[in-house]
Structure 1
């Protein structure tokens, strides 16, 4: 144990004293906050700009149906000849909406044309098609003898009320909130595994390249060296992560409080914010807050820590084994895909399966399988997970970690002293027999 603690201390100190580690520890929050501020600034610029669209309606059927708003302004150039309107639009407008002369409105079904140098957005195309469809539908109703205005007045907008068998009220979008909370925790685990697992692998490769490993291995067992690297790098990573959170929160508070800058795309004009606040249903907001507070927050935090440790140790053992088996990062690429694939699969299962059926067979099975459970189970916990599934998942995770450490240490023991030859999958299996 004393030897292991010395290795952990050595790895931790070597990592935190590294210049790149120190620079990125304090530079990364600045970059993230700066990016958020830039996105907010660009979003505010987009909201201030108005798209100018010209209309040339030869038949006069639709020009009055296109209404300007605070984002798009339509200008009628129908009085000009088409070629003149086209030249004018090419110089002064984003595009020209051309509505040719036809005998009846129904002939415009596929004849309206939008002319511009740049391709329009899908949203703009959809809005234009909606206006055309509405006009054609109204014309169809009139031709068939129906009153379009009365039909519009007869339309109803229903609202489904959600409740629980226990008698309490349920809320719309609550599943999405639960998945988002679990997804953030799972994503943090995945990113930590990938980033700091690579640190472990690079550390092993660097010592092999510098031929320091022969000296080290003469004093300690390969298993102790591997575990020391995993734990030491994880402690350095946790320290860096905590510094990022603290510095990032301080910078965001300063940016919002003293400079009045908004973060991300949520930057909107004050008038819109005031209207949204006036129209918001305060009681419904309180209901959402109450529902979130009723989630098993303590269980989620404890589970996050357990799966964080178990998942990182599980994958870092494999990263260490890969580092021992190769001589350079380039050679390691062929072995990294099998490690990353389970993590990507877990994210896919979490976002596309858990949200629709959190207690279904697929979500349940993958929340128990050790290589995907750190992500999938964290997404399921807000929905309520049976205790036996949670315990089984954690036991299997740490049991698999123990097996993988033994498995990886056999590769590590042989590969750590191998130089000059890129190993194949077959050779890795042979090393397991030594």
Structure 2
């Protein structure tokens, strides 16, 4: 209870501060009334959703996600505005103190707020405010097909031109628009790739989240099959369970559901993709992540029955696994496919110019193709979303990778 009181006091204080900018910019009181009304409704809805309205058994229901998203939007607007106002207030206070001790009047007084600066503050703050709203309304289903061609000296001849579609981080428990998910699934199938690889996090927490969507994702197809691995959210570790048996059953149900949908789920295992006499080793590990994430992945076990000289594609949900274990493994893993980061669902990307997201401070390999020690990784930005129910600048991704045999020079 105390935390909600503290939260309310801080939120109201921030909102009151921002209100000063509105009063400086316009004499029309209805702007202030509108801002007060929006701020109070957003705050009340957030408190309600996370207390009285909390849905049992889920970390973030759809309604809770939107409550969080709207709160984040308003807080971002407030904080940016306050950064401008606070800098001006430091100047106003300094000026007042100077006038008190060195001025002619010897009286302390604060200069009036400058309308231009308040207008600038509100204008700048409105940019992320609008972007976050757009991210919830449109951005989260703004599916992008990203294409890469990767060359290898030792790619088997028969696999020259072989096409892989990778998807990751479906997070079906967050979906709220079947028409747009149908569009995304159709876009995956339109790539007509040789193989489809899903790199984990099918659900947020519970297998039941995928049941309304299983028939749709079951229509995904590829000539050489579709394969999957587990992500950290698939284990159900982030919600309380009445018994360990129920938690274990949830995981087993998810494994079975994936198989029923046509996925070959690799649990620290491998398969061979075969073309005539040529083959590629496809290795799939369970989740392995740094910083407290589950470390169920066993690379040695998954690769125990393959040859060191095989051409290898590794599916591992968390890119920190590649960074900390895979790169320096005695086996050479030609291509690793990961997800997990979502690109934080927020950032700025202008191909060839800018690629930035705050998540880079946590994951050095956070989106797209990287190469180290002659080995590639692709970190997929994710098909779905989690937490904030939207995406800004980092759009949902369908990756298409074409393997090429490097020409002799």
TM superposition score normalised by structure 2: 0.22
Which of the pair is proportionally richer in helix? 1
Q: Which has the higher strand share?
A: 2
Higher-Rg structure is 1
